[in-house]
């Protein structure tokens, strides 16, 4: 499906900067998905529109998705599919998410120092969010990140294995956050490991507990429904 010249200006994940992106094609895709309602799976046809664009600066390809072909109103709001851009879940505190956003942009630009510094600041923001601020925010005089992490574990705000992960992340980020000899600085490839570990920490602190509770509540609800169903069946039995 050919299109007129339509542009948007947003982050190009290939570069890590906001760039003009030009839409070059809209491709509809018809799919069949299962709709689970009242315990019955029904096939439902769904159309997804893929917006294929090109970055005007680096000339790299970008693929977006939307539920309509109204590109004039929806291209700027379409969801990026490729290249994948890692984001934190929506329930993460904004300050933590902002530091991580800056870090991921830096990672895309092969700027390991800025990446490491912002991941470290995100760890500091996690400590503050969980109730252990530094000495500048009315804390107990904790000047370094390590003791703040230890205090989180001491107060049982994080499990011991998350404490170890956060301290290892701190040590890894320090190589990038401070001036060091060239052979002691953060290698760009090491940034991916730091990224993965930081996301794991965020998942364990902010996502997993909520998910486990929701899963537990659903299991308990299902058990109650099954018990009620059996009770109804027994009451309908004629002797």
pLDDT digits (tens, 9 = 90+) for 196-221: 999 999 999 998 888 888 888 888 88
| DSSP structural state of residue 78 | P
Q: Are residues 203 and 157 in the same domain?
A: yes
Inform me whether the pLDDT recorded for 2 exceeds 50: no
Q: How confident is the model at residue 188 (pLDDT cuts 50, 70, 90)?
A: low
CB 88 within 8 A of CB 202: yes
Is 13 a domain residue? yes
Q: What is the mean pLDDT of the chain?
A: 83
What pLDDT is recorded for position 139?
53
Listed range (15-19, 37-41, 158-162) with the worst mean pLDDT: 37-41
Q: Are residues 14 and 107 in the same domain?
A: no
Q: Are residues 122 and 163 in the same domain?
A: yes
What pLDDT is recorded for position 38?
62
* End-of-domain residue from the set 60, 82, 104: 82
94 backbone φψ class: left, alpha, beta (φ>0; ψ -120 to 50) = alpha
Of 131, 139, 193, the C-alpha closest to 168 is: 193
Q: Are residues 25 and 126 in the same domain?
A: no
Domain range enclosing 39: 7-82
CA 75/CA 4 separation, integer angstroms:
12
Region 9-30: mean pLDDT is 84
Inform me whether the pLDDT recorded for 127 exceeds 90: yes
The beta strand positions in 68-148, using DSSP E, are 79-82
Q: How confident is the model at residue 1 (pLDDT cuts 50, 70, 90)?
A: very low
Q: Are residues 68 and 166 in the same domain?
A: no
Is 234 a domain residue? no
Is 127 a domain residue? yes
Q: Are residues 157 and 62 in the same domain?
A: no
Q: Are residues 105 and 200 in the same domain?
A: yes
* End-of-domain residue from the set 82, 108, 127: 82
Region 44-70: mean pLDDT is 87
Region 185-203: mean pLDDT is 84
Q: Are residues 67 and 106 in the same domain?
A: no
Q: Are residues 196 and 130 in the same domain?
A: yes
Inform me whether the pLDDT recorded for 23 exceeds 80: yes
Q: Are residues 170 and 63 in the same domain?
A: no
pTM (whole model) above 0.75: no
* End-of-domain residue from the set 43, 62, 82: 82
Q: What percentage of the chain carries pLDDT values higher than 90?
A: 33
Is 88 a domain residue? no
Helix, strand, coil percent values for the chain (each to nearest 5): 50, 20, 25
What pLDDT is recorded for position 177?
59
Q: Are residues 155 and 46 in the same domain?
A: no
Q: Are residues 118 and 203 in the same domain?
A: yes
- Structural domains counted in the chain: 2
Region 142-161: mean pLDDT is 92
What pLDDT is recorded for position 182?
59
CA 47 to chain CA mean position, Å? 26
CB 21 within 8 A of CB 52: no
Greater pLDDT, 210 or 50: 50
Is 1 a domain residue? no
Distances (CA, A) of 174 to 39, 123, 146, 169, 213: 53, 12, 11, 8, 35
Is 221 a domain residue? no
Is 230 a domain residue? no
Inform me whether the pLDDT recorded for 132 exceeds 50: yes
């Amino acid at each position: 499906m050919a299109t007129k010249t339509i542009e948007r200006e947003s982050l190009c994940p290939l570069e890590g900067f906001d760039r003009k992106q030009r839409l070059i094609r809209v491709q509809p895709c018809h799919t069949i998905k299962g709709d689970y309602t009242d315990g019955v799976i029904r096939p439902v046809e769904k159309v997804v529109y893929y917006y294929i664009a090109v970055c005007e600066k680096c000339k790299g390809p970008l693929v977006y998705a939307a539920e309509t072909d109204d590109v004039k109103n929806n291209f700027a709001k379409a969801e990026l599919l490729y290249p994948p851009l890692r984001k934190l879940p929506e329930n993460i505190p904004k300050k933590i998410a902002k530091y991580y956003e800056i870090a991921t942009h830096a990672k895309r630009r092969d700027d390991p120092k800025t990446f490491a510094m912002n991941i470290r600041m995100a760890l500091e923001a996690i400590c503050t969010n969980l109730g252990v601020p530094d000495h500048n925010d009315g804390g107990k005089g904790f000047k370094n990140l390590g003791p703040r992490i230890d205090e989180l574990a001491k107060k049982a705000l994080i499990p011991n294995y998350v404490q170890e992960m956060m301290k290892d992340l701190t040590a890894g980020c320090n190589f990038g956050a401070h001036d060091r000899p060239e052979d002691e600085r953060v290698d760009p490839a090491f940034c991916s490991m730091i990224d993965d570990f930081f996301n794991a920490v965020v998942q364990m602190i902010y996502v997993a507990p909520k998910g486990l509770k929701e899963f537990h509540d659903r299991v308990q609800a299902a058990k109650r429904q099954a018990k009620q169903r059996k009770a109804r069946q027994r009451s309908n039995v004629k002797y």
